[in-house]
Amino acid sequence: MSMNAKIDQIRSEAAQAFEKAGSVKDLYETKVQFLGKQGSFSALMKEMGKLSAEEKPLFGKLVNEAKQSLEALYSEREEKLRTQELEAKLQSEHLDLTLPGPQRPPGAKHPISSVIEEISGILGRLGYAVRTGPLIEKDSFNFEGLNMPKDHPARDMQDTFYIDDNYVLRTHTSPIQVHAMFNEKPPFKITGVGPVFRVDYDISHLPNFHQIEGFCVDRKVSMADLKGTITFFVREFFGSNLKTRFRPSFFPFTEPSAEVDCQCPICSGKGCRMCKESGWVEIGGCGLTHPNVLKFAGINTNDWQAFAFGFGIERMAIIKYGIDDIRLFNENDVRFLRQFSL
């Protein structure tokens, strides 16, 4: 076969192969096969040596023309395939804009925040103003001002995170009482709310939990005022028909002191797992403020008296909602938290 005939043959083979290529990728591979460095035309050029000096330029010219026409064919075909591929892609990715979008469930308050708001609301109606205090607390406010001098055995009641000799993570909200005595002029009623910290972690204890404190300073306050206040509070929070009972107890900052139980709201006092079949659940402590506490803050105990109470918020939430593991409050599992959203 003459060299010219070979050029024509390769050209028509290439043109057919381009036409047959089903995708841009196939087409490109075909192009490499014919027009690439190792392709058919390059192979043909190697045979040029066989030609006479006169034939060579003509042959070179014909090869170039053939290659140029194939390049043009390639571009045309590539454009066509590209359009086809784009259309196929658009077809397969067709969006139905009438479908509803993904649902985003609305957020909800953490149950502890809801309980804090509810309790502050109830005490607010009795005239208690909400106060907070530092979480890193002076030893003197967390303990000394509450009649627990250094080395007092009552400090062992609260496993404490010590920052250094003078500072602790507050172990209870009672130091808010001390801040109030320095900041407010008697008579006053305040409630202190917020996180507290103890070295503790099991099914009924967290290292960080929340308390609420009530503190009432007035000319004359009695155990009857304290009982009336707490009874009102328990009925508002847990249910109007529940009884409250006070058991004699000890706290360094109150004298007399009592622990407060309320009839179990889960079984209405009949006995269940929550109240360990006793019908009663413990919610916190209370008492008439010890004169040493008032004196520490410079309050004249001839003129003023006080009562105080402190409850665990998680404990109250557990009792109210019948939750059996306090750690659920800290795990932030939305399946748990969602149950408390409205």
**CB of residue 171 to ligand DAH, shortest distance in Å:** 7
Strand locations in the chain, DSSP E? Answer: 129-131, 136-138, 167-169, 188-197, 208-218, 244-251, 254-263, 280-289, 305-312
- Output 40 or 137, the one with its CB closest to ligand DAH: 137
For every residue of 234-293, DSSP letters joined together read HHHHH-TT--EEEEEEEETTEEEEEEEEEE-TTTTTS--TTTTTSSEEEEEEEEEEPHHH
Distance of closest approach, residue 213 Cβ to ligand DAH, in angstroms = 5
Contacts of 99 (CB under 8 A, 6+ apart): none
CB of 327 to ligand DAH, least distance (A): 19
Q: How far is the CB of 249 from ligand DAH (least distance, A)?
A: 8
Query: Shortest approach of ligand DAH to residue 259 CB, angstroms?
Result: 8
Host H or E run for residue 228: helix 223-238
Residue 18 or 311: the one with the smaller Cβ distance to ligand DAH is: 311
Sign of the C-alpha dihedral, residues 178, 183, 186, 190? negative
Q: Which is nearer to ligand DAH, 34 or 209 (CB)?
A: 209
Radius of gyration of the chain (CA): 43
Q: Which is nearer to ligand DAH, 63 or 148 (CB)?
A: 148
Nearer to ligand DAH, 161 or 336 (CB): 161
| Pairing outcome for strands 280-289 and 254-263 | antiparallel
Residue number, nearest CB to ligand DAH: 310
Would you tell me which residues interact with ligand DAH (CB under 6 A)?
172, 174, 213, 251, 254, 284-287, 308-310
Residue of 313, 315, 303, 292 lying closest to 177 (CA atoms): 292
Q: How far is the CB of 257 from ligand DAH (least distance, A)?
A: 6
Residue pair 336/111 in contact by the 8 Å Cβ criterion: no
Q: Which residues contact 186 (CB under 8 A, 6 or more apart)?
A: 217, 218, 299, 303, 304
CB of 100 to ligand DAH, least distance (A): 50
Q: Which is nearer to ligand DAH, 40 or 282 (CB)?
A: 282
Specify the 3-state DSSP secondary structure of 197. Answer: strand
| Residue 275: how many other CB atoms lie within 10 Å | 21
> In the complex with ligand DAH, which residue's Cβ is closer, 16 or 222?
222
Give the pairing of strands 254-263 and 244-251.
antiparallel
CB of 333 to ligand DAH, least distance (A): 27
Torsion of CA 164, 166, 170, 176, to 10 degrees: -160
Which residue number, 308 or 323, has a Cβ lying nearer to ligand DAH?
A: 308
